[in-house]
Every structure is written in C-alpha cells, then in structure tokens.
C-alpha cells in the first residue's frame, strides 16, 4: 500500500489500489461526497470514511 500524496481523487483512485477498492465499496452518496472533497491520500480518504460511514446507507 502506498501512503503518498496524489494530485487529487482521480489520480489517487487510478494509482492506489487500496483507495480504489475502498471507494468502490461505498454507497454512491458517499462516493459523491468523497469526489467533492478531492482527497489526495489514502489516509485522508480512509479517515473521512471512518468518521462518516454511519451517515450513509450501504
């Protein structure tokens, strides 16, 4: 797993397998919020998911 920074969510999902798998396991509504935030690392993405998963139905 790579913990580096990427230029944005598109690059993060294209280059980091863990981020891609996590993103695509989430409900569409949560994916939309993640795209709005434009995260640049798996750490940021995962932190957001852990804090907000309960708000979205899966």
Mean pLDDT of 14-24: 97
Q: Is the pTM of this model over 0.85?
A: yes
Torsion sign over Cα 51, 26, 45, 18? positive
Percent of the chain with pLDDT over 90: 86
Q: Which two tokens stand for residue 24?
A: 């695509």
Rounded to an integer, what distance in angstroms lies between the CA atom of residue 4 and that of residue 33?
Answer: 21
pLDDT tens figures, 24-49: 999 999 999 999 999 999 999 999 99
Residue spans of the domains in the chain: they are: 9-55
């Amino acid at each position: 797993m790579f913990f580096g920074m990427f230029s944005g969510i598109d690059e993060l999902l294209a280059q980091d397998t863990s981020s891609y798998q996590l993103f695509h396991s989430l409900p569409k509504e949560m994916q939309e919020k993640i795209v709005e935030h434009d995260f640049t690392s798996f750490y940021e993405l995962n932190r957001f998911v852990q804090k907000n998963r309960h708000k979205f139905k899966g």
